[in-house]
Amino acid sequence: MSEQNEQRHEKPDGTWQGAIIEVAAQAAQHFAHQEQREKHEATWRKVRRAIFMGLAVGGFLTYWMFVRSLAGSGVEGDPTTDAVALIPVQGEIANSTRASADKVLAMLDRACDNKKVKYIVLDIDSPGGSPTEAERMVSGLNQCRAKSGKPIYSIIGQIGASASYMVAVHTDRIYAGRYSVVGSIGAIMRYIDASEAASKLGLTEHVFRSGALKGGVSPWSKTSPEDAALNTELVRQMGQGFVDDVIATRGQRLHATRDVISSGRIWTSAEALDMGLIDGVAVLEDLKATQFKGLKITKYDSRAPVSRYLGLDETFHSILSDALQPRFQ
């Protein structure tokens, strides 16, 4: 009886001690898990902080590069040793393209003012474009030549036609590659006559003019004989002015008649050389090994806004300007 009482007395005491040990073990395990969670959260806080800083720095750099692309740097870097300045005139010549007068003249001015630049070369690869933009470039070339006396050359890539050739003839020497094409001397105006299509759709354009020739032609109406005669005369005068310019600048180097020059066609570089439209068949590498030997070639570059990199401005401008403007193209 006494043994049973003793056993009953010891059992609660043993259960109490085990409970204490179990609670202590659970508490230790809880604290260990809590410490592990805190370490894990601290690690993730560091990772998140690093990711945030990386995104912030990346965003700032992206914004900075975007702003620079809008502003433009103008050139790759002015030369500090004797050099040849290579200025691109590439693509359509227009006031909203890379080959605009503003961009080309900005590069030309810097090259002209830099005493380390010994030659200026226009790197031409253009089918033509706006005669007014080309005229501004010509004026800039003449001013640079008068101010600095530096030789100014043109090197034609795939094509040097129309307004781009108008610019080239005002440089001291013109070179073109064996597979280049040159010419298209003259002016052109084109538009689409959609009057019959409009009529089939039941559309009629009503025009009220203060004068018989006010407003010019419209794609939605038949061209009147008076408008046709006027536009023909405008194009003829502009084309003949271009031909006069070529004859005056090339002078005794020309070996072709006025009728041939004003035909509006393009020629291979070999034909252009025979006619006196260019001074030699050569590419940049040929000149680097001869006239430019020992000189650094510094490639100037204009920086256009992002939309122009995507070609949006060129496309929009082309749609508008092709309608009624006389063009050297």
Tens of pLDDT, residue by residue over 42-56, are 776 776 776 777 777
Backbone angles phi, psi at 35, to 5 degrees: -65, -40
- Where along the chain do its domains lie? 1-71, 83-187+263-321
**Distances 109 to 5, 135, 206 between C-alpha atoms, Å:** 114, 16, 49
Give me the CATH topology for the region 83-187+263-321.
2-enoyl-CoA Hydratase; Chain A, domain 1 (3.90.226)
246 has a pLDDT exceeding 50: yes
Tell me the mean pLDDT in the region 60-85.
64
8-state DSSP, 327: B
Q: Residue 187 corresponds to which amino acid?
A: A
C-alpha–C-alpha distance, residues 74 and 299, integer Å: 11
pLDDT in tens, 258-270: 999 999 999 999 9
More confident residue, 215 or 100: 100
pLDDT in tens, 162-171: 999 999 999 9
Beta strands 181-183 and 266-268, pairing class: antiparallel
C-alpha–C-alpha distance, residues 204 and 3, integer Å: 123
C-alpha–C-alpha distance, residues 96 and 109, integer Å: 19
Please give the pLDDT value at position 250. 95
What is the secondary structure of 4-55 as a DSSP string? HHHHHHHHHHHHHHHHHHHHHHHHHHHHHHHHHHHHHHHHHHHHHHHHHHHH
C-alpha–C-alpha distance, residues 84 and 76, integer Å: 13
Please give the pLDDT value at position 30. 67
Q: How many CB atoms lie within 10 A of CB 197?
A: 12
Beta strands 181-183 and 173-176, pairing class: unpaired
Express as a percent the part of the chain with pLDDT over 70: 73
What is the secondary structure of 180-208 as a DSSP string? -EEE--S-B------HHHHHHTT------
Task: Kindly report the pTM of this predicted structure.
Answer: 0.68
SS3 label, residue 320: helix
